[in-house]
Amino acid sequence: MKAFAHFNAASVEEAVSLLQRYDGKAQVIAGGTDLLGKMKDRILPGYPEALVNIKTIPGLDGIAEKDGLLKVGTLAILEDIAHHPVVREKYSALAQAARRTASPHLREMGTLGGNITQDIRCWYYRNPNNRFPCLRKGGGRCYALAGDNRYHSIFGGSVPEGCVAVHPSDTAPALIALGAKVLTSQRSMAIDEFFQVGVAKTTVLEGHEVVTGVEIPQPAPGSKSAFIKFAFRKSIDFPIVNCAALVQTQGGKVAQARICLNAVFPKPYRAVAAEEAIRGKKLNQANADKAGEAAVAEAEPLSHNAYMVTAAKALVSRALLACSG
Amino acid sequence: MASTEKQRAREMLDNLRFDKYPIPKERIKSIGDREVRRLDGVEKASGKANYTMDVQLPGMLHMRFLTSPHPHAAIKSMDTSKAEALPGVRAVLRYDDPEIQQEEDLGGHGVSPRLPIPLVAHFQGEECGVAIAADSEEIVDEALRLVEVQWEQRPFVLDPLEALASGAPIANPEDFPESNLEVYYEAGRGDVEEGFAESDVVLEFASRRDLHTYVSPERACGVWRWNGDYPEVWCKQQRPHIVKRAVASWFGGIPMNRIELHILYQGASFGGWSQFGWNLAGNYCSAVISRRTNRPVKWSFTRREDFYGGSMDYGAHQYKVGAKKDGTILAVKAESVYANPMWGGQGPVLHLEECTNIPHLYGKRSLAIVNKGPCTAVRCEQLPNTHTLTLVFDHVAGELGLDPIDVALKNDGVHGHDMAWASEEKMKMGFPQTDSLRECIKSGKKAVAWDKKWHKPGTKKLSNGRMHGLGFTWNHEWEDSAGSGEIAMRLERNDGTLRILGMRCDNGVNAETAYCQVAADEMGMKIEDVFYRPHVDTGFFTQTPDSSTNMSVNGFAVRHASRMLKERILKAACAPRAETQRGSYPAFFPDCTPEDLDIADSAIFVKMDPSRRLTLAEFVGPAGDEGPLCFYELYGHERTPFSEPMFSYSYHVQVGAYKGGIRPRFIRQAHFMEVEVDTGTGEISITKVANVNDVGKAINPMACEGQMYGGTYMGIGRALWEEVVHDPVTGVMLNGNLLDYKIATIDDCGPIDTILKESQLGFGPYGLAGIGEDVPTMIPALLGPAVYNAIGVWIDDYPITPQRVLKALGKI
């Protein structure tokens, strides 16, 4: 690993100021489970000159319900979120997503902020030593399109770059389904607006902006949420496809549903068509299946990943059904 | 016990029949004892065991190779000046260095490079061009990035079938200029066409196995130091004797007795790089750099570089099978294309030849060269055979609507003979009459409730919506009838403990403890008084020509050596010890003959009067401060007992088990797998595995079970997910890391039943046979029949991914 400067920030302000000083040449580090691997493999053309450690900032790892909001600090580790009684009871999708992320070791290291700001998954993008200088690195083309794209986007490339890598976060779709807000050092925004695909970018965060936490509104009465993950190994793996859903039922019918798939598109994919398909309907197998079909109606699988469409359809249906009863 | 030289020699080589020299039952104390702890257990589990990568020597440099970014490319020019100028870089060894120009016996299999640093790369990631040594691995890494290479890229081919098609680019014009077909072999018996003509049904199917690798926990590495003109080498290497022979031939020749070799713990090497010239070139280049810099040099591959070696069952298979309606198989024709095997390998019908009565067999294996890393006998070379046996038997059962267990029993046989013939042979050879396969099946059926749970394919939907499947296969995989090994042992001065001597690689299976158990019981010693650490070059190579055979060879050698040593001890206990100026030292047991004595609990005793006893510690005497056998009379002390040095050695050659050109196999194994298939996602969950292995005799039952657990998770990874993926456009490996290359964990296997049978039908000592490779080779192909039973459609391409499941179900 190449040498770099390392700063322990004592406050968010200090972290921001360090990031400003390095002007794009510094990276924020918390758990480091994604960042250090990327650096070690030198997947990007550049290499950070400095890391700004935010684990040293006090008060950013809280998990607490207050004023009808669940507030989770950016440094809350996934293992704590997964086992938090309030999260498990009322915000099940998030607890389940955190529980299914990576392995116990990584969950003990990985933070919620890191999980939603992690970089995309694509074995071309992440091939060591910048072997494939692809679109997301400012290069000329996407290598996965003509190559082996078994784990890539089923909903086309992101506009305008054409990248078909996937966003692999497990907690992001859960937060989207739960209608969370992301708080940063300079603003707060609905999580739907947080993800953005660009060169060397997965979010709207500016170079010196730091995520400080998320806020999740208490689900309305009659609501239930769930998260389902399809991955290979039980102990560790990124999702092939995952899906989170929040369903509010009234009078035996779905009043409102928020459904989000991930690992199927360069950013989390809110399945709006499925939400519309299930709204006003009874939550049963047939209607859930129809919602699943609606979710993938516009899928455009690549040469190697048609199976992901089938899986996404099944997961949408199952996530909805998991919210029943 | 053998008491004459002639008898002893006979015992040493007599393995054509059932063990004639058993140990009396009352002496068996640690053999088969589940309480015996493995010798390396605490050391390894606590992280204290030293591996080759752990070796740190004063002033040691670190060395790595440049690797090719292209799958087929030659170096046109190379500028290393920037790397040479980097502070901390101590040596840059280029391909055009005069010392690297000559071809050497690097000690690898097959088409391994003979030049220590090749100029042309035949796969992406191949070590070539230059080796750099520096003060740290980080500096080497930076230096390698500063090497500027002009590559001449050449056309490449990645798929073995495409490689054999006309017009395919030549993958390795340096070694195979004419075509990508290296060679082909044919084998079999009878006349398959005749068999097909007599058959009620003839079925044909094709199967593929994608490339998988081995991923040793420790990456390939080695350390070289010159002590004056003579080398000291630490190797990650499963065949120390071959390494030493190769090293001795380098640099104009080094006498064998001046090479110091250390083979530390290997962990699980799975065959690994140790059979490839690239690996051995690491040692060679370290030697050159070590001499030039006068520093020890450690070379290594990175974790990613470790992924480029593959298993030699990668390829495509075409099958044609003829059978009677009752499940009697009459003919099997199997034609296989394997990619990049570093040697001819086996199969694809070898196991059908050995373990069935099928009259007509034809197998052809063609070896194709492609621009991927080398493949060899890693995680066992028997995979092509096990794959064939399982698929052939289960396809026949499926086609005819029969229970696969009935089909197995109907065709079980020995080299084309039926079980009646086998029975007669067993009698002639002194073996018990047990029918091993029936016994294994009986236990396995019970373990998985086969009679209750097995159903017609594609008919059982579970309450969770998934399809239930149960699969079965059987075989006698490998190996109790080949190999040779030598071993020595000595009683230590002062405490009379026994030390076994012999260099072999520790490939993780805990054979060392089993040797100690054999020695302890044969000698009459407590297990805690026997020790073996095989890392040191004692001059005895306790090893076999490869690493597949273990107890059935070395177990014999240990037993012989133990019996000889015991005989010697008892003889010495009855004989006068010495006449010296100060007096005579009479025998310990002057009134006895060796036959009157025995050893138990590490003490010699008189059989007629066990109260007369002498511990082995008392017997061997001290290693005193005035010489090894000093007795303290000089200082007025009483005379201390002593004896001559107690040492023995032995060897064993197991090839005698071939009878009339064949090796009759009487031992069997049976494996059962229960699965659930999610027809929505294509996901397969393995919910139970039952392994039933007849090992003849389990010396260390927990070690056997360890192999069954390890083999299961390893086989399941290969069945479900493991596949080295290369980009079809650039030929670059895409998943050379432990996240994207998916090895199963124990969590993915469901409960694993480990059932040991002890029929004593093996050709090893006490009637044992091996187990190490038996499970990981059988489990991968077993997934196919289990999934077929679940969904009613065959998937014959491995790994059986969700993509393949959904395709078979017509969903994509």
Question: What burial class does residue A72 get, using C-beta atoms within 10 Å of its C-beta: 0-12 exposed, 13-18 middle, 19+ buried?
Answer: buried
Average of per-residue pLDDT values in chain B: 91
Query: Who contacts B716 (Cβ-Cβ below 8 Å, separation ≥6)?
Result: B686, B689, B744, B748, B749, B779, B780, B783
Is any Cβ of chain A less than 8 angstroms from the Cβ of B807? yes
- Per-residue buried b or exposed e for B115-135, using 16+ beta carbons within 10 Å of the residue's own CB: bbbbbbbbbbbbbbbbbbbbb
d(CA A38, CA A46): 11
Structure tokens at B185: 């072999």
Structure tokens at B395: 């396809």
What's the distance, CA B756 to chain centroid? Answer: 20
Report DSSP letters for B289-344, one per residue: HHHHHTS-EEEE--TTGGGG-EETT-EEEEEEEEE-TTS-EEEEEEEEEEESBSS-
User: Mutate which of B727, B741, B743, B745 to disrupt the A interface (most A C-beta within 10 Å)?
Assistant: B727
Predicted pLDDT at B582: 66
Is any Cβ of chain A less than 8 angstroms from the Cβ of B725? yes
Is any Cβ of chain A less than 8 angstroms from the Cβ of B135? no
Contact (Cβ atoms closer than 8 angstroms) between residue B683 and residue A230: yes
User: Mutate which of A307, A316, A321 to disrupt the B interface (most B C-beta within 10 Å)?
Assistant: A307
Other CB atoms within a 10 A radius of the CB of residue B803 amount to 20
CB contact under 8 Å between B748 and A234, yes or no, is yes
Structure tokens at A240: 């092939």
CB contact under 8 Å between A233 and B735, yes or no, is no
User: How many beta-carbon contacts under 8 Å exist across A and B?
Assistant: 88
Contact (Cβ atoms closer than 8 angstroms) between residue B379 and residue B270: yes
| Residue in A with minimal Cα distance to B744 | A233
CB contact under 8 Å between B812 and A147, yes or no, is no
> Which residues of B are less than 8 Å from A309 in CB distance?
812
Q: Which residues are bridge partners to A121 per DSSP?
A: A166
Domains of chain B: 5-14+482-657 (3.30.365.10), 52-154+219-265+273-302 (3.90.1170.50), 162-213+309-402 (3.30.365.10), 412-479+659-812 (3.30.365.10)
Structure tokens at B124: 């992406």
Give tens-digit pLDDT for A252-311. 999 999 999 999 999 999 999 999 999 999 999 999 999 999 999 999 999 999 999 999
Q: Is the pLDDT of residue A166 over 90?
A: yes
Give tens-digit pLDDT for B781-811. 999 999 999 999 999 999 999 999 999 999 9
Q: Identify the band that residue B218 occupies on the pLDDT scale cut at 50, 70 and 90.
A: confident
Choice between B317 and B266, residue whose per-residue pLDDT is larger: B317
Backbone angles phi, psi at B777, to 5 degrees: -85, -25
Is any Cβ of chain A less than 8 angstroms from the Cβ of B773? no
> Which residues of B are less than 8 Å from A124 in CB distance?
727, 734
Which helix (H) or strand (E) covers residue B707, if one does? helix B701-720
Q: Is the pLDDT of residue B545 over 60?
A: no
Q: Is the pLDDT of residue B314 over 50?
A: yes
Report DSSP letters for B751-778, one per residue: -EEEEEE----SSSGGG----TTHHHHH
d(CA B291, CA B300): 18
**What residues 51-90 of chain A have any CB closer than 8 A to a CB of chain B?**
none
Cβ contacts of A42-47, under 8 Å, gap ≥ 24 = A42/A2, A42/A128, A42/A129, A42/A130, A43/A125, A43/A126, A43/A127, A43/A128, A43/A129, A43/A130, A44/A130, A44/A137, A44/A200, A45/A130, A45/A133, A45/A137, A45/A138, A47/A2, A47/A4
Give tens-digit pLDDT for B649-663. 999 887 655 666 677
Cis before B479? omega within 30: yes
Nearest Cα to Cα of residue B339 among B206, B465, B182, B200: B182
CB contact under 8 Å between B748 and A150, yes or no, is no
| Range of weakest confidence among B214-218, B586-590, B790-794 | B214-218
Is any Cβ of chain A less than 8 angstroms from the Cβ of B465? no
The pTM for the full model equals 0.95
Structure tokens at A225: 């949420």
Q: Identify the band that residue B17 occupies on the pLDDT scale cut at 50, 70 and 90.
A: low
Choice between B312 and A108, residue whose per-residue pLDDT is larger: A108
SS3 (DSSP) at B690 = strand
Predicted pLDDT at B684: 98
CB contact under 8 Å between B725 and A123, yes or no, is yes
Q: Identify the band that residue B641 occupies on the pLDDT scale cut at 50, 70 and 90.
A: low
Angle among Cα B57, B61, B67 to the nearest 5 degrees reads 135
Other CB atoms within a 10 A radius of the CB of residue B726 amount to 27
Predicted pLDDT at B627: 55
Contact (Cβ atoms closer than 8 angstroms) between residue A219 and residue A204: no
CB contact under 8 Å between A230 and B742, yes or no, is no
Average of per-residue pLDDT values in chain A: 96
Is any Cβ of chain A less than 8 angstroms from the Cβ of B7? no
Structure tokens at B9: 């020699």
User: Mutate which of A232, A235, A318 to disrupt the B interface (most B C-beta within 10 Å)?
Assistant: A232
User: What percent of chain B shows pLDDT beyond 70?
Assistant: 92
> Which residues of A are less than 8 Å from B69 in CB distance?
131
Q: Provide the Cα torsion B70, B76, B77, B83; round to 10°.
A: 20
- The residue type of B533 is R
Predicted pLDDT at B549: 78
Predicted pLDDT at B1: 43
CB contact under 8 Å between B720 and A230, yes or no, is no
Predicted pLDDT at B644: 85
Chain A: give the shortest CA distance to residue B223, in Å. 22
Other CB atoms within a 10 A radius of the CB of residue B549 amount to 26
Is any Cβ of chain B less than 8 angstroms from the Cβ of A128? yes
Of B145, B748, B811, the CB nearest to A233: B748
**Please, what's the largest Cα pairwise distance for chain A?**
61
> Which residues of A are less than 8 Å from B683 in CB distance?
230
Q: Identify the band that residue B109 occupies on the pLDDT scale cut at 50, 70 and 90.
A: low
Contact (Cβ atoms closer than 8 angstroms) between residue B479 and residue B655: no
Cβ contacts of B622-627, under 8 Å, gap ≥ 24 = B622/B493, B622/B494, B623/B493, B623/B494
Is any Cβ of chain B less than 8 angstroms from the Cβ of A133? no
> Which residues of B are less than 8 Å from A235 in CB distance?
745, 747-748
Is any Cβ of chain A less than 8 angstroms from the Cβ of B304? yes
Is any Cβ of chain B less than 8 angstroms from the Cβ of A159? no
Q: Is the pLDDT of residue B547 over 70?
A: no
Give tens-digit pLDDT for B29-76. 999 999 999 999 999 999 999 999 999 999 999 999 999 999 999 999
Query: Who contacts B512 (Cβ-Cβ below 8 Å, separation ≥6)?
Result: B38, B39, B40, B500, B506, B532, B533, B534
Is any Cβ of chain A less than 8 angstroms from the Cβ of B728? yes
d(CA B779, CA B754): 13
Predicted pLDDT at B2: 44
Chain A: give the shortest CA distance to residue B306, in Å. 14
d(CA B284, CA B151): 25
Structure tokens at B705: 């079970």
Chain A: give the shortest CA distance to residue B73, in Å. 16
Q: What does the pLDDT average to over B165-190?
A: 93
Nearest Cα to Cα of residue B271 among B355, B214, B338, B230: B214
| Residue in A with minimal Cα distance to B465 | A318
d(CA B188, CA B669): 23
Predicted pLDDT at B541: 86
SS3 (DSSP) at B65 = strand
Predicted pLDDT at A288: 98
Choice between A10 and B313, residue whose per-residue pLDDT is larger: A10
Q: Is the pLDDT of residue B625 over 60?
A: no
CB contact under 8 Å between A147 and B727, yes or no, is yes
Label the pairing between strands B61-67 and B297-300. Answer: parallel
Give tens-digit pLDDT for B110-134. 556 778 899 999 999 999 999 999 9
Of A129, A143, A230, the CB nearest to B727: A143
Q: Which residues are bridge partners to B670 per DSSP?
A: B474, B692
Give tens-digit pLDDT for B457-499. 999 999 999 999 999 999 998 766 678 889 999 999 889 999 9
| Residue in A with minimal Cα distance to B805 | A307
Q: What does the pLDDT average to over B725-748?
A: 96
Which helix (H) or strand (E) covers residue A109, if one does? helix A104-109
Q: Is the pLDDT of residue B633 over 60?
A: no
Other CB atoms within a 10 A radius of the CB of residue A4 amount to 15
Of A146, A233, A311, the CB nearest to B729: A146
d(CA B508, CA A206): 51
| Residue in A with minimal Cα distance to B741 | A237
